[in-house]
């Protein structure tokens, strides 16, 4: 749906900034916080538990979608959450010198996750409602590129900055500055979007709480009535089963000293490692996977995408066994893993779009699918620290490779449904 009542702003002026704002907080809470807590002396198990629990709101996005339709515009939600999120990151910075900084910072990270889960729902709503089908396809590359730029800035440049400042100012002061910078950046994006962001459609499609609840229940009912839906849910949970365990521990493994089985990288080196080449490899893998799958179809491609997604996790078992001191070797192996990750993640995205979303509530059902996917990722992630502490890094990453087996089985066995009937009903 295009907007006819306001001046049209070229999407190039707001799509990149909108998805930069969507990518930044997710990576900060899920990855950058891991580096911060590691520098501040927390155990791997505690770090994995905290960062997994505070990220749960990203799994609950469908719960508030119908209610958001009752108030204001999607633009209002985007701006409010960006500016409020900026303030909360400032509060995280101020909490770090406190004696109970772990409790206070984790509470604030949880508030951040809830805030930006609302933001993501509204941001995706602006994108889908303002751009027509041709424009959506045209700007999807910008969307993905700037979401990943958020990774480069947060996990790369800002972690590098933290590493430099740790040496000159101290650990606490360094991370106070970095968290404050995150807050200022997000607040600034909110101000920018006051001028540049289209409204994304006004409230009114849902006019009462009763109607919102009725719509929500129908969304849930029709979701679980889809053919093979329970197979699909199992697929969403198991496809990332190994990744969910590895993702929290990899940054800790990179930072842990050699005597403890890690690679002994400094915060500064970790920022350099993840700042340029791995994100670029991820984007390249995603683009190539799109062409690969378009030519073969998802059904024939899925097992290959699953292999590309899971097998490269073996590089961490290799690194844990050999513990190389060559930064070039470490970077090269991580780049290979990120390329495979980008290539294989396309399988999950397309499965949700093509096998789960089609029907009357395409956008809502896609949101349900992404939330279930995220929940399936968080459950093994929350236990990964305990397993890593018990096994040690070497045997933990060997276990991660064993944990890839369920994803291969479900990718091979999951049935595909014909969605043409869904589309016909939706367009009727």
Ranges of each domain in the chain: 9-196, 207-417
Fold of domain 9-196: Growth Hormone; Chain: A; (1.20.1250)
Percentages helix, strand, coil for the chain (3-state, rounded to 5) are 80, 0, 20
Q: What tokens appear for 264 in the block?
A: 């002994």
Q: Is the pLDDT of residue 424 over 60?
A: no
Comparing 247 with 111, the larger pLDDT belongs to 111
**Residues 326-347: what's their mean pLDDT?**
91
Q: For the chain, what is the mean pLDDT?
A: 84
Q: Is the pLDDT of residue 318 over 90?
A: yes
Q: Is the pLDDT of residue 293 over 90?
A: no
Contacts of 417 (CB under 8 A, 6+ apart): 226, 227, 228, 355
d(CA 128, CA 171): 42
Q: What is the pLDDT of residue 232?
A: 93
Q: Is the pLDDT of residue 329 over 80?
A: yes
Q: pLDDT of 38-58, one tens digit each?
A: 899 888 888 888 888 888 888
Q: What is the pLDDT of residue 102?
A: 93
Q: What is the pLDDT of residue 218?
A: 82
Q: What is the pLDDT of residue 144?
A: 66
Contacts of 374 (CB under 8 A, 6+ apart): 55, 58, 59
Q: Which of 9-13, 160-164, 274-278, 317-321 has the lowest mean pLDDT?
A: 274-278
H-state helical runs in 131-198: 133-151, 159-168, 171-196
**Residues 236-253: what's their mean pLDDT?**
89
Per-residue pLDDT band at 192 (split at 50, 70, 90): very high
d(CA 417, CA 90): 48
Q: pLDDT of 375-408, one tens digit each?
A: 778 788 878 888 898 999 999 999 999 999 999 9
d(CA 392, CA 390): 6
Q: pLDDT of 83-127, one tens digit each?
A: 999 999 999 999 999 999 999 999 999 999 999 988 988 887 787
Intrachain domains 9-196 and 207-417 with the same fold: yes
d(CA 240, CA 374): 9
Comparing 72 with 240, the larger pLDDT belongs to 240
Per-residue pLDDT band at 413 (split at 50, 70, 90): very high
Vertex 85: Cα angle to 81 and 89 (nearest 5): 180
Q: Is the pLDDT of residue 2 over 60?
A: no
Fold of domain 207-417: Growth Hormone; Chain: A; (1.20.1250)
Per-residue pLDDT band at 368 (split at 50, 70, 90): confident
Per-residue pLDDT band at 8 (split at 50, 70, 90): confident
Q: Is the pLDDT of residue 3 over 50?
A: no
Q: Model-level pTM?
A: 0.72
């Amino acid at each position: 749906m295009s907007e006819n009542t306001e001046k049209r702003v070229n999407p190039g002026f707001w799509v990149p900034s909108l998805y930069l704002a969507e990518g930044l907080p997710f990576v900060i809470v899920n990855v950058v916080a891991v580096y911060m807590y590691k520098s501040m002396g927390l155990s791997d198990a505690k770090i994995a538990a905290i960062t997994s629990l505070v990220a749960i709101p990203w799994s609950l996005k469908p719960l508030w979608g119908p209610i958001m339709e009752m108030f204001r515009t999607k633009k209002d939600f985007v701006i409010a959450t960006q500016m409020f999120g900026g303030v909360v990151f400032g509060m995280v910075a101020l909490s770090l010198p406190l004696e109970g900084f772990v409790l206070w910072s984790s509470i604030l990270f949880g508030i951040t996750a809830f805030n930006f889960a609302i933001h993501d729902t509204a941001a995706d709503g602006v994108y889908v409602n303002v751009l027509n089908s041709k424009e959506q396809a045209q700007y999807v590359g910008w969307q993905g590129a700037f979401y990943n730029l958020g990774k480069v800035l947060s996990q790369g440049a800002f972690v590098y900055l933290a590493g430099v400042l740790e040496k000159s100012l101290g650990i606490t002061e360094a991370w106070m500055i970095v968290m404050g910078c995150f807050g200022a950046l997000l607040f600034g994006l909110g101000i920018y979007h006051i001028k540049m962001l289209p409204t994304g459609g006004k409230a009114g499609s849902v006019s009462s709480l009763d109607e919102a609840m009725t719509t929500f229940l129908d969304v849930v009912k029709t979701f679980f009535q889809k053919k093979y839906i329970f197979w699909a849910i199992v697929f969403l949970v198991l496809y990332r089963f190994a990744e969910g365990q590895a993702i929290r521990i990899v940054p800790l493994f990179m930072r842990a000293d050699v005597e403890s089985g890690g690679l002994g990288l400094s915060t500064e080196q970790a920022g350099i490692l993840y700042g340029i080449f791995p994100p670029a490899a991820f984007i390249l893998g995603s683009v190539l996977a799109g062409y690969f799958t378009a030519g073969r179809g998802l059904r024939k491609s899925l097992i290959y995408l699953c292999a590309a997604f899971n097998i490269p996790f073996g590089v961490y078992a290799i690194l844990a066994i050999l513990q190389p001191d060559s930064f070039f070797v470490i970077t090269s192996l991580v780049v290979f893993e990120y390329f495979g990750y980008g290539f294989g993640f396309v399988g999950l995205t397309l499965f949700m779009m093509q096998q789960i979303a089609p029907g009357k509530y395409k956008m809502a059902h896609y949101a349900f699918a992404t939330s279930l996917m995220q929940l399936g990722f968080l459950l093994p992630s929350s236990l990964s620290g305990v397993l890593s502490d018990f096994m040690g890094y070497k045997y933990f990453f060997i276990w991660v490779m064993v944990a890839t087996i369920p994803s291969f089985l479900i990718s091979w066995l999951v049935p595909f449904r014909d969605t043409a009937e869904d589309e016909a009903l939706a367009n009727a």
